[in-house]
Structure 1
Amino acid sequence: MKKILASIQQGQFDQSQLQRLEALLISSYQQHVSNDKTIVVWCEIPPGQAYTAYQPSQSSLITMECPTGFEQQRRVVFLQSLAEQWMAITKQHPDYVLLSLMEEDLFNQFVRSNQKRLSAVGKVRFVLHMLRSFIRSKRRNDLFRFNPNL
C-alpha cells in the first residue's frame, strides 16, 4: 500500500474540501504514479503550532512515496498537475503548498527518522495514538486524520 502524508493546519479546510482533496490525491497518484492501493493520512497541526513568515501558518505539506527510479519528467508532470488542482480546491497561494514525491526508500527513511526521536515509551504512545485515530476515523466513516500531539 502506498502512503500519502498530508500535513495541514487544523480547521484550514472544511469537510467538503478535505474529501475533494483526498479524492484528488488518490486519483492523481493512481493516474500518474502507481495503481497500487493508496492511503492518505491527514496530520492536522493545532492552531499556534506552525508559523510561516512570522504569521500563523496556512501552509500544506504533502509527502508521497513513489517507486525507486521514478522518472523525473513524470514526476514533474504529476506534481504540476496536482499543484494546480490542489490550489483550485483550496484557493491557497502557491507559496503555501509544498508537494513532495519521494522514492520509497527515502520516504521510509523520513518516517523512521521522525520515530527515532521518540523514546521507547513515546513510540508505544504514538502507535496507540495512531491506532485510536484510525479506529475513530473508521467508525465515523471519516478521513484518516490525527493530531500530532500525544
Structure 2
Amino acid sequence: MRRILCTIQEGSLTSAQCRAAERALGEAYRKSLGATGRAVVIWCEIPAGQSYTENRASTMSWVLVETDDGLDAARRERAMHAMSDAWNTVTHAGPNDLMLALVDTSLFDRYLRLNRDRIRPNARPLFLLRTLAHLLTSRLTRGRFAIAANHHRS
C-alpha cells in the first residue's frame, strides 16, 4: 500500500472531485510505475487565508506521493507527468496550481516522523487518537480520509 498526501485549500474541491482525484491518481500511479496494490490518499485542508503564493491567497495544491527508494529519474518523471495530468483533468487546476513530488519511502517516513515529533511526547497518544478518529469520521461522512491543517485542542 502506497500513501499519497494531498494538501488542498479548504473548499477548493468537492467530495466528488476528491474521490475522482483519488481514483485518477491511483490509476496513473499503477500505469506509470507498474505498481500493484492500493494507494491510500489522505487529504489535508488548509483554511482560507492561511496559505499564500506570490503574495496572494494561494490556490496551490500539494500532492506528496510515496515511491520505492531509488526510483530512477526517467520513471519518476513519467509518473509525475501522468499524475499531474490526472490531477489537472479531474480538478481543472491551472498550470501553477499543483506542486507534485514523488518521494522515496524512506524520506516519506522521515517527513511523517518529523511532523509527529513536533508534538510533545506526552501529548502524542491523545493527538494520534484524535487524528485517527477524525480520519475515520471523515471517511464515513465525506467518503474520504481527511484531516484539517489546524487540529483543535492538540
Q: After superposition, give the CA deviation of every residue in 1:18-57 in whole Å (9 maximum; x if it has no partner).
A: 1111111111112223212221000011112111112111
1:103, CA displacement in angstroms? 0.7
Deviation at 1:74, TM superposition (A): 1.0
Deviations along 1:105-133, whole A, 9 cap, x unmatched?
01111111111221124423431222112
Between 106-115 and 122-131, the greater mean CA deviation after superposition: 122-131
How many residues in Structure 1 have an aligned counterpart in Structure 2? 150
Alignment of structure 1 residues 26-45 onto 2, 5 Å: 26-33=26-33, 34-45=35-46
Q: Return the letter of the residue paired with 2:53.
A: T
Aligned mates of 1:62, 1:94 — CA distance in 2:
14
What corresponds to 1:105 in structure 2? 106
Alpha-carbon distance between aligned partners in 2 of 1:37 and 1:88, rounded to the nearest angstrom? 21
Question: Which portions of structure 1, spanning 4 or more consecutive aligned residues, are displaced by more than 6 angstroms?
Answer: none
The answer to whether structure 1 residue 3 and structure 2 residue 13 are counterparts is no
Q: Give, in angstroms, the shift of residue 9 of structure 1.
A: 0.6
User: Which whole-Å CA distance do the structure 1 matches of 2:119 and 2:107 have between them?
Assistant: 19
Q: Percent identity?
A: 28
TM-score normalised according to structure 2 size: 0.89
Q: Can you give the 5+ residue segments of structure 2 that lack an aligned partner in the other structure? A: none
Task: Write the distance in 1 (CA, Å) between the matches of 2:139 and 2:17.
Answer: 19
* Maintained 8 Å contact 2:28/2:86: no
Structure 1 residue matching 2:96: 3-state secondary structure: helix
Question: What TM-score do the two structures reach when normalised by structure 1?
Answer: 0.91
> For 1:71 and 1:97, how far apart are their aligned partners in 2?
22
8 Å contact from structure 2 (residues 139, 145) kept in 1: yes
Deviations 1:68-116 (A, max 9, x none): 1212111111111221221222222222211110111011111111112
Q: Is the 8 A contact 2:10 2:45 kept in 1?
A: yes
Partners of 1:40 and 1:126 lie apart in 2 by 20
1:3 positional shift: 0.5
